[in-house]
A = this chain, B = another copy of it.
Amino acid sequence: MKCEILAVGTEILLGDIVNTNAQYIAKRLSDIGIFVYHQSVVGDNPERLKEAYDLAFTRADLVITTGGLGPTKDDLTKEIAFEYFGKTSVLHEESFKYIEEVFRKSNRTVSVSNKKQAFFPSDAIVLKNNNGTAPGCIIEEGDKVLVMLPGPPREMKPMFEESVIPYLKKFSKEILVSKVLRVIGIGESAAADMLGDLLDNENPTVAPYAKEGEVTFRVTAKASNEEEAKALIAPIEAKVREILGDNVYGEGNTCLEEVLGQLLTEKGLTIATAESCTGGMVAARLINYGGISASFLEGAVTYSNDAKISRLGVKEETLKEYGAVSHEVAEEMAIGICKTSGAHIGLSTTGIAGPGGGTKEKPVGLVYIGLCYGGEVVTRELNLSGDRQKIRQRATITILDMLRRELLSSK
């Protein structure tokens, strides 16, 4: 069954609101094995709305609309649809009683325009709106199905879950099961090159997606039941994991800080951070994970040289000889935070995030990161591109990944 999602509303075309409904519906349809081939947005304009129905039904069997069920003259989604299918509409008593009830509760009287919301063809399936006055509806015409839902997400979502999902299940013969693998420390194109032909596999499919310094690969199998789908996924997942090795850091919605928090807890290790250019971002990311309190002792944002000296015991000579942005200072910062906090592991960052402050020898984007653990220190030089924000975010992700790899390799 091919589906198209059609959002109706001039406010979306003007960019006043983001069309989050399309994402929500698409995701839930994909969960039950109905694939969306097109999403469209059209304004509250009778002609273009009619054209949109016409187009949608030439390329889809199921069309789901959102928006335009309100009481004003602008709201035309239903009216034009009924016209398109040549149906006349009559007052749906139950819906009207419900609307009256809602108005009585808030001490308002029902206007003529509100009454319009309760008109439907007699053979329509009317969908109750428990969170507003606009009922939705389903029209079946031959092998075509039109589902019309209200626009506000807080009305649309419950109606979709309560009425539409149960209705649609009869159309989904096959189900789609996905597994997401999360990858860090390697770019999208490099990872894709490594996976090669796997990305052309048909069932399951393997699709890459890059986001904020990470890459995810979604393995999606089509099958008649969940067990079968999982059996299809397993060997492909194993291949992806074998090829990408420990660049794969997690599955599904697991975020990097969760993986780190769990590794630290399992190993009974404590951690502290000493940040210059990232200025608190590394600590803030670690503390994103609620369970970190047992492991995270403290962080020092030693932005000035004075703070590096007084808080971390970085030597004045080291700062003079090598400069604050150097392997040597990153090393002393990592050792210093370990010593002063008593943590097992110390992380450090020092770099030039720009826009100013770069020189020929030390350009914007040059960052040193350090990790001290068990008396040993490793430092790394990074040459990052992007604006100030991006350089700091990339340095943060890189040191967190460095920590992950250290925790995995240590016994």
Contact = CB atoms under 8 A, between A and B. Distances in A.
A36 interface: yes
Given A356-B290, A384-B106, A15 B10 contact: no
Tell which of A13, A207, A211, A306 has the most Cβ of chain B within 10 Å: A13
Contact of A11 (B105, B207, B304, B356): B207
Nearest to A72: B192
Interface string A265-303: 000000001010111111110111011110011111111
A71 interface: yes
Interface in A63-79: 70-74
A103 to B, nearest CB: 9
Interface string A136-162: 000000000000000010100000000
Contact of A131 (B189, B293, B387): B387
Tell which of A17, A188, A280, A291 has the most Cβ of chain B within 10 Å: A280
Interface stretch (A23-31, A80-88, A164-172, A231-239): A23-31
A255 B23 CA distance: 27
Copies of this chain held together in the complex = 2
Contacts of A173: none
A307 B298 contact: yes
A68 to B, nearest CB: 12
A284 B288 contact: no
A74 B55 CA distance: 26
A388 interface: yes
Interface in A337-354: 341, 353-354
A208 interface: yes
Size category, A interface = 35 or more
A70 B19 CA distance: 24
Given A13-B37, A15-B24, A105-B383, A283 B301 contact: yes
A284 B293 contact: no
Given A41-B38, A302-B298, A152 B384 contact: no
A16 interface: yes
B10 A207 contact: yes
A210 B70 contact: yes
A84 to B, nearest CB: 18
Contact of A280 (B17, B74, B282, B387): B282
Given A189-B114, A210-B70, A210-B152, A389 B288 contact: yes
Contacts of A135: none
Contacts of A365: 105
Given A13-B39, A15-B25, A200-B73, A296 B304 contact: yes
Give 5 nearest A-B pairs by CB, closest first.
A15-B27, A299-B301, A280-B280, A279-B287, A15-B26
Given A17-B23, A278-B284, A284-B392, 16 more contacts: A12-B23, A15-B24, A15-B28, A17-B209, A18-B19, A18-B23, A19-B22, A55-B55, A106-B385, A113-B193, A273-B301, A293-B304, A297-B307, A298-B300, A298-B304, A300-B300
